[in-house]
Amino acid sequence: MNRLFKWSASTLLCLMYCFLIPLPSYASGDSYSSYAELQQYEILHQDYDIRYEQRFSYLSIMAIHGGGIEPGTSEVATELADRFSASYYLFEGIKSTNNGVLHITSENFDEPIARGMAQQSMSVMTIHGYSGSQPIVYVGGKNQLYKELVKQSLRKHGFTVRDAPSDIAGTSEQNIVNDNLLKAGVQLELTAELRKSFFVNHDWSRNNRMNVTPLFHTFMTSLQEASSSYQTFLYFQVH
């Protein structure tokens, strides 16, 4: 009887530990759970850069895993923002190797400039990189109208579009893409194959990312059309 009680008690303690002790909220592959933690080990302008511009726009375009973290996302974000004068924000890995260590999941990405820009915007589009050997755009986020405009425009220009699976759906309220005035944004996940096709010779290395292909410009036209249409819609809603 005592042995049974001891076994039951230890099992109970184990269950209490599992269910009552909070587990880390960051993705299992992330080295850092917040920007404050990252700052303790990584050096601005040596390991990573932050680039941004606040413009008079209802929308902000962000690549919070830019540079060498998810190659190609910075280029898409800045080109899109420039095309219709939107605000933009980039958090870019600039290490020679191992930029993946700088990845902070979207729910936990709390760098103050980025969060401030998002919270002052009507809506946000974030550009991310995803794995995959086929050129696919996965569309997530909570802004249903903006998402639909993006999907229609991409398909019109010949791109393969899928609804984002649950692990990259971008529907969390804590996700920076939804931390805006409408509490709804658009999260784009671009496969590795698609991003490589944006650069000459499929080379997305740092020294070649200024050499973009015609497909890159077609992709940007797709996003520009959708974003401009949505921003016009917002203008008439506000006025």
- Average pLDDT of span 84-107: 98
pLDDT for residue 239: 86
pLDDT score recorded for residue 153: 99
What single-letter DSSP state applies at residue 24? P
pLDDT number for residue 28:
54
Spelled out in words, what is the top-level CATH class assigned to the domain 32-238?
alpha beta
pLDDT at 71 over 60: yes
Confidence (pLDDT) at 8:
45
Q: How far apart are CA 43 and CA 93, in angstroms?
A: 11
Residue 20 has pLDDT above 90, yes or no: no
Distance CA 183, CA 142 (A): 8
Measured CA to CA, the distance from residue 39 to residue 46 in angstroms comes to 12
Most distant CA pair in the chain, distance: 76
pLDDT per residue over 117-159, tens digit each?
A: 999 999 999 999 999 999 999 999 999 999 999 999 999 999 9
d(CA 50, CA 39): 12
| Confidence band, pLDDT 50/70/90 cuts, at residue 29 | confident
Boundaries of every domain in the chain? 32-238
